[in-house]
Amino acid sequence: MIVIEAEGLKKNFGNVKALRGISFEVKRGEIFGFLGPNGAGKTTTVRILTCILKPDSGKARINGYDVVRDTLKAKQSIGVLPEVSNAYPDLTAWQNIMLIASLYGMRRSEAEARANELLKEFGIHERKDAKVRGFSKGMKQRLMLSMALISDPEIIFLDEPTSGLDVQSARMIREKILEIANERKTVFLTSHNMDEVNLLCDRVAIVNKGKIVTIDTPERLKSRVGGNVAIEVSFGDKVVLNLENAERFGNKYVIYTTNPYKTICEVVDFARKSGTKMISINTRTPTLEDAFLKLLEMER
């Protein structure tokens, strides 16, 4: 069953073309990653899907409800953690979470039970009666996630939920995301952290300049770089290495290959012939980051 549908979404801000036709579908129970460089249009897409912005053209549906025409119904089934947003600083954690519960029309007893459960799970229950003003960044973000989950939503939008957090807070949030998906709920996740996306997502859309470059599973995206082994070589000087599937990063090259022995010989030959010093060489498996960079380069 398809629960998030975007069809040719376009959005301009003055002269800036933020979205130039975004289309995709997300199935129930999926963790769907949205990956792209700064300014690609990720947050704009999230804001349209969460009924904050209206698209200039195109359609979007949440649980079958049109985000422009059936706004309240669409909003009722989602939980949102916006990219930059705060809880009310002069309200306590408890007051903040109960405010959201009331706005979703939850019954008081049900809301209290769930709030207690969430705050305990995220380790902020002892501080529930303290004003949010004094919370650390990680505590604030964990509270924001509790607020997003209080209504037990079918679909959850998380816009860079772990950016800028310490390892512990980030891990807590990631574990919760997996748990949510296990309950057959749908998660829409934007992130700059490739490991996170690789670990969590069932499918990933790569966006750039307001368009979708590709949508695929992390595994298949990784295999698209042109080989199952990545060889990293750094040279002492700036050199031009002409090998198939070689990507340059300053004085460093990454070469994707299915025949590492042959490629390493070629690299060593090259170093010997051109007289450049080879500082290091190592092999690893391609990462999602490799795929991401490669696909964005092909776009240019």
Ligand X SMILES: Nc1ncnc2c1ncn2[C@@H]1O[C@H](COP(=O)(O)OP(=O)(O)OP(=O)(O)O)[C@@H](O)[C@H]1O
Q: How many residues bind other proteins (CB under 8 A)?
A: 30
- Please state, as a whole number, how many other Cβ atoms lie within 10 Å of the Cβ of residue 44: 22
Task: Report, in Å, the least distance between residue 238 CB and Mg ion.
Answer: 34
- Is there binding between residue 80 and other proteins (CB under 8 A)? yes
In the list 6, 34, 50, 227, the residue contacting other proteins (rule: CB under 8 A) is 50
CA 267 to chain CA centroid, Å, is 36
In the list 59, 66, 99, 199, the residue contacting other proteins (rule: CB under 8 A) is 99
The structure tokens listed for 55 are 């698209």
79 vs 81: CA distance, rounded Å: 7
The 3-state DSSP class for residue 104 equals: coil
Q: Of these partners, other proteins, ligand X, Mg ion, none, which one is at the site of residue 38 (CB under 5 to 8 Å by kind)?
A: ligand X
Q: Which helix (H) or strand (E) holds 62?
A: strand 57-62
Question: For residue 228, what is the DSSP state?
Answer: S
Q: Interaction with other proteins in 139-198: which residues (CB under 8 A)?
A: 144, 147
Q: Which range binds Mg ion by CB under 5 A, 38-46, 74-82, 126-134, 203-211?
A: 38-46
Calculate ∠ Cα 80-7-184, nearest 5°. 45
Task: Report, in Å, the least distance between residue 76 CB and other proteins.
Answer: 4
Q: Of these partners, other proteins, ligand X, Mg ion, none, which one is at the site of residue 142 (CB under 5 to 8 Å by kind)?
A: none
Q: Of these partners, Mg ion, ligand X, other proteins, none, which one is at the site of residue 41 (CB under 5 to 8 Å by kind)?
A: ligand X
Nearer to other proteins, 115 or 225 (CB): 115
Question: For residue 56, what is the DSSP state?
Answer: S
Phi, psi of 184 (to 5 degrees): 65, 30
146 vs 156: CA distance, rounded Å: 12
- Is there binding between residue 130 and other proteins (CB under 8 A)? no
Which of 4, 162, 184 has the alpha carbon at shortest distance from 78?
4
Task: Report, in Å, the least distance between residue 57 CB and other proteins.
Answer: 18
Q: Which range binds Mg ion by CB under 5 A, 10-18, 75-83, 90-98, 135-143?
A: 75-83
Beta bridge partners of 248: 253
- Is there binding between residue 91 and other proteins (CB under 8 A)? yes
- Please state, as a whole number, how many other Cβ atoms lie within 10 Å of the Cβ of residue 294: 20
Residues that bind Mg ion (CB under 5 A): 42-43, 83
Residues that bind other proteins (CB under 8 A): 47, 50-53, 71-73, 75-76, 78, 80, 82, 84-91, 95, 99-100, 102-105, 144, 147
